[in-house]
Structure 1
Amino acid sequence: MYPYLRTIKVFLTAKRKGDHKLTDVSIMKMTVMPGDIDVFMELNNGRFLTLMDFGRFDVAIRSGFLTQVRDKKWGLTVAGASVRFRHRLRLFQKFELHSQV
């Protein structure tokens, strides 16, 4: 299931965090929720990529880039992603997502 409530939260809270340069690091505090886990009771690797999208949304909104994208009718595409999983994230574990262009 797609995390619709988290998506809404990202869009609502990004504006309140203040302005941000496109090249600055965005830090989001998150928690592993029951809908994020797999049969091993840890964060699903597919869901991790979805959570990474929230970092992109935060950077784009706070830097004003999303407004330009909408005005010019552009699209944002991720051509590829290379992920190296270093630690397991368990249910209800808190973590920080760092995003930077």
Structure 2
Amino acid sequence: MTRTLQLALAVARPRRPVPGRHVLEPSVTHLRVRLGDLDLYRHVNNGVYLQMMDVARTNYLADLGAFGLLASRGWYPVVAASTVKYRRSLTWRQRFAITTRVLGWDERVVYLEQVFTRGEDHVARGWVAGRFLARDGTRVPARDVVTLLDAAQGESPQLPSDVTAWARAVDVAHR
């Protein structure tokens, strides 16, 4: 529940935009494991990782100054698919970082990678296929969102082959 409140606060009062930030530049969110993040085995619950990823993606958008731009058009982000691979546990009070970066996009979705690190240790990595919708429920082409957030950004970088295979496997890739 506390991460849901943290997400609500990150949306209602986003952190300040980073001047000159581009869509392909990574965004780093620093967090600490809270008691409410833990499961009965005393490590972060797998579902909480997804909530933490929500907070980090919200901070990524805030770094770009995206909230006002998106709101002016009535666009908002949704997750179409996500997956997480866990390598190490996070436990109570540990500090860690989530680095969020855009890997690329196709006609329908923007593909992001979110990497959890604790110091030099790689903890987990998630992939997210995100869409943008208009208030009337219509899909907004990913290219339109990227252009809005970073007019200088051209074509999408080529997606890594493992991300392309994942996008096909979870049926979010452009057909």
Common fold: TM-score over 0.5: yes
C-alpha change, 1:18 and 1:75, in structure 2 (3 Å) is closer
C-alpha change, 1:49 and 1:96, in structure 2 (3 Å) is same
Residues 22, 63 of structure 1: 8 Å contact kept: yes
The residue aligned with 1:62 is 63
Aligned residues: 99
| Structure showing greater Rg | 2
Higher relative contact order (CA 8 A, sep 6+): 1
SS at match of 1:92: coil
Q: Report the more deviating stretch, 17-26 or 31-40.
A: 17-26
Runs of 4+ in structure 1 over 4 Å off: 9-13
Partners in 2 of 1:94 and 1:9 — Cα distance? 19
The residue aligned with 1:85 is 86
Tell me the amino acid that sits aligned with residue 77 of structure 2. Answer: L
Taking structure 1 as the reference length, the TM-score comes to: 0.86
Paired-residue identity, %: 24
Residues 10, 59 of structure 2: 8 Å contact kept: no
Partners in 1 of 2:33 and 2:86 — Cα distance? 15
The residue aligned with 1:31 is 32
Partners in 2 of 1:51 and 1:61 — Cα distance? 15
The residue aligned with 1:51 is 52
Partners in 1 of 2:85 and 2:35 — Cα distance? 23
The residue aligned with 1:96 is 97
Taking structure 2 as the reference length, the TM-score comes to: 0.52
Which is richer in strand?
A: 2
Gaps of 5+ in 2: 103-175
Partners in 2 of 1:30 and 1:10 — Cα distance? 16
Gaps of 5+ in 1: none
Q: Report the more deviating stretch, 18-27 or 90-99.
A: 18-27
Partners in 1 of 2:61 and 2:10 — Cα distance? 15
